Amino acid sequence: MTSLLVGYAMKPLLVFENRYKDHKGGPHHPENPARLDACLAGLSRDNLIKEFDRIEPRRAGKDEIMLVHTPEHHSTVAATAGQEDSMLDEDTYVCAESFDTALFAVGGLLEIVDLCEPGKEERAFAFPRPPGHHATPASAMGFCLFNNIAIAARYAQKERGFERALIVDFDAHHGNGTQDIFYDDGTVGFFSTHQHPLYPGTGARGERGSGKGEGWNMNIPMIPHSSDVDYKRAYEDELAEFWEFVKPEIVLVSAGFDAHERDPLSQMKVTTAGYRWMAEFILARAAGMPCVFVLEGGYDPDALADCSNAVAKAIAQYR
């Protein structure tokens, strides 16, 4: 596919932290620290990592977690600190270090947002663990403890003066937590392409938001084996129209690479080139505003490395 990008001069930002490996479950759990090693392998090709300014994450505070989560949920996760390994649901593990790691995962995104302002064309790629888009206001689920990207969106509004935000989610699994958080909001648009049927079973086209949020939620359920061509059609037809409706001032991308043709947890057929095209499409549409890509899923090591490299190249070459 041909490049969609035009000139851009600023060096993009990167959050990549070894402490994110401290969140550990069983040796065979698909969401494991080796995922970060795969991402780093992709970023290390062709000295690509040197094209980014790396920034250090900080620990998010309780008040920042509670921008989208209930006090009870914060307390539930906090109570696991220093404790033996356990499960918060059938898929979501915690260890003694998980709570602290999750706070730094959120804090890495907040450090990026602190460098963003309305009308400033910032670009960034963040690699937090644990991932976040399944975490609802009141519960952890689907490998996710806190909803990293949702907290970042609300923080951008509260602390950095952004009025309207857009979250684009191309993970193979529907970001049900992000949808729940903003479903009746009317200031944060949520656009998701995802395999259907597949966990968690949400994300029907009819789920369009409610109240003030009516129309601010757009789901594009994709049948198994959907390809680059199908995603290109969804972006050019549906995302472009939704973008004009939301009129965002900041764009955040739930970058899940589990729709890749080699991923074991979905049946999608997106190629590495397809992921790069999606990143370029988003970057081109986001001209004149901040655009932050945030790791979610992706469970084949080689595909994860390839896609991290492809999206990072799209970001780095947008200059």
Question: Among all residues, which ones are annotated catalytic?
Answer: 134
- Can you tell me the distance from the alpha carbon of 90 to that of 165, in angstroms, rounded to the nearest whole number? 32
- Can you tell me the distance from the alpha carbon of 152 to that of 113, in angstroms, rounded to the nearest whole number? 7
- To the nearest 10 degrees (0 to 180), the angle between helices 272-285 and 301-316 is 30
* Phi and psi angles of residue 201, each rounded to the nearest 5 degrees, phi first: 90, -5
Distance in angstroms between the alpha carbons of the first and the last residue of the chain? 19
Please list the helix, strand and coil fractions of the chain in percent, rounded to the nearest 5, in that order: 40, 15, 45
Give strand pairing partners of 136.
Answer: 139
**DSSP code for 242:** H
Residue count (the chain): 319
